């Protein structure tokens, strides 16, 4: 039982990270119907931004209180990664809007290849380990919860609450939802569609950057190939929750995290990625609208 709860906690932490990435996929897919293949690499880029800021703090200031350091890492990573995704959308995706469906997908694959290789070339191909930033562990009745895990869950909850507020309650969120429903109509009603789409990319990238920084903090290591697998898993999460739905992405992320950690704990760690991919295939084949998504209507 203790073992089970322990795995549950690990899964929840992992799931929070996947959930944050999944939101980027789901928002972009919702608004322009494009699978942003490069989103996983945006996540990796965020992790690297966090890493470099951490090293900068260590070398320039000789260290800082953990809270300050973490906050700096998160903020800088969010800003830099958002700029990247904004520019990518502007340069690579916007000119192809309205082109045939495959074009943005192929472009996104190209961006993904370019991003991961850019990091490989500019930062080197090796693993980048950092020392433990936060290492307190609390043990309650045989179940250990590390401060890292608590931090990740808290940051995720706070961010999700604020993003949910933005999407549901502010004029910006209203513009986003309107664009999602009908782009042409939204434009006719005076919504700046291009700007709304740009902001969607920026928001997705900011969340991915947070996920990347927390991934770095949790595992203490990052490498340029780290974008692909978490990216596909987060996409699975988005699909599982129902693509286009924000709460769905979070629930999907948590489910994927739980399934992954429980599968590794009780079955075999070697096939844990197979489990995720199999879930992806099953959901898409049997319930393509996911848990909370709207079913797609086929029009003739």
Partner 1 sequence: MATVTNPSAASTGSLTAKALREATFTAVMTFLMFALFIGLKTDQNMRNELILVPRWGMLAILVVIAFVGRFAMVAWLQPWRTASKAAKSAAPTVDEDAGFVKRNFSKLAILALVLYPPIILWIFGVQGSLKYIDNFGIQILIYVMLAWGLNIVVGLAGLLDLGYVAFYAVGAYSYALLSINFGFSFWILLPLAGILSAFWGIILGFPVLRLKGDYLAIVTLAFGEIIRLVLINWQDVTKGTFGISGIPKITLFGIPFDASPNGFAKMFHLAPSSAYYKVFLFYLILLLCLLTAFVTIRLRRLPIGRAWEALREDEIACRSLGINTVTTKLTAFAIGAMFGGFAGSFFAARQGFVSPESFVFLESAVILSMVVLGGMGSLTGIAIAAIAMVGGTELLREMDFLKHVFGPDFTPELYRMLIFGLAMVFMMLVRPRGFVGTREPTAFLFERKAVSGAFTKEGHG
Q: Which positions touch partner 1 (CB under 8 A)?
A: 33, 35, 45, 48-49, 51-53, 55-56, 59, 76, 79-80, 83-84, 87, 92, 95-96, 99-103, 105-107, 109-115, 117-124, 126, 128-130, 228, 232, 235-236, 239, 270-271, 273-274, 277-278, 280-281, 284-285, 288, 298, 300
The distance of closest approach from Cβ of residue 223 to partner 1 in the complex, given in angstroms and rounded to an integer, is 11
The distance of closest approach from Cβ of residue 159 to partner 1 in the complex, given in angstroms and rounded to an integer, is 22
The distance of closest approach from Cβ of residue 117 to partner 1 in the complex, given in angstroms and rounded to an integer, is 4
Smaller CB distance to partner 1: residue 33 or 142?
33
Helix axes 147-169, 171-181, angle to 10 degrees: 80
Smaller CB distance to partner 1: residue 154 or 274?
274
Cβ(236)–Cβ(256) under 8 Å? yes
The distance of closest approach from Cβ of residue 156 to partner 1 in the complex, given in angstroms and rounded to an integer, is 24
The distance of closest approach from Cβ of residue 1 to partner 1 in the complex, given in angstroms and rounded to an integer, is 30
- 279: its two tokens: 């879930």
Helix axes 228-241, 272-286, angle to 10 degrees: 30
- Of the candidates 285, 238, 218, 299, which has an alpha carbon nearest to the alpha carbon of residue 29? 238
Q: What are phi and psi of 65, to 5 degrees?
A: -55, 145
Smaller CB distance to partner 1: residue 79 or 143?
79
Cβ(107)–Cβ(99) under 8 Å? no
Smaller CB distance to partner 1: residue 113 or 158?
113
User: Please, which residues have CB within 8 angstroms of residue 242's CB and are 6 or more apart in sequence?
Assistant: 248, 252, 289, 290, 291, 292, 293, 294
């Amino acid at each position: 039982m203790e073992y089970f709860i322990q795995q549950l906690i690990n899964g929840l932490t992992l799931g929070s990270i996947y959930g944050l990435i999944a939101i980027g996929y789901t928002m972009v897919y919702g608004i322009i119907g494009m699978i942003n293949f490069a989103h996983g690499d945006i996540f990796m880029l965020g992790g690297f931004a966090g890493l470099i800021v951490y090293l900068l703090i260590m070398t320039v200031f000789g260290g800082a209180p953990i809270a300050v350091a973490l906050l700096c890492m998160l903020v800088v990573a969010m800003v830099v990664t958002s700029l990247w995704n904004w520019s990518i959308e502007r340069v690579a995706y916007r000119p192809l809007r309205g082109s045939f469906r495959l074009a943005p997908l192929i472009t996104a694959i190209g961006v993904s290849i370019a991003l991961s290789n850019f990091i490989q070339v500019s930062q080197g191909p090796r693993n980048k380990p950092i020392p433990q930033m936060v290492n307190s562990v609390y043990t309650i009745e045989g179940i250990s919860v590390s401060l890292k895990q608590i931090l990740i869950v808290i940051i995720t909850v706070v961010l999700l609450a604020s993003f949910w507020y933005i999407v549901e309650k502010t004029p910006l969120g209203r513009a986003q939802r309107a664009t999602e429903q009908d782009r042409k109509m939204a434009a006719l009603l005076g919504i700046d569609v291009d700007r709304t789409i740009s902001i969607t990319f920026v928001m997705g990238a900011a969340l991915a950057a947070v996920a990347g920084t927390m991934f770095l903090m949790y595992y203490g290591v990052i490498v340029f190939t780290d974008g692909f697998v978490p990216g596909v898993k987060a996409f699975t999460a988005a699909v599982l929750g129902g693509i286009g739905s924000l709460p769905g992405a979070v629930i999907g992320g948590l489910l994927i995290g739980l399934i992954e950690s429980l599968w590794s704990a009780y079955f075999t760690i070697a096939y844990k990625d197979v489990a995720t991919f199999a879930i992806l295939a099953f959901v898409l084949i049997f319930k393509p609208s996911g848990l909370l998504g709207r079913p797609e209507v086929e029009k003739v």
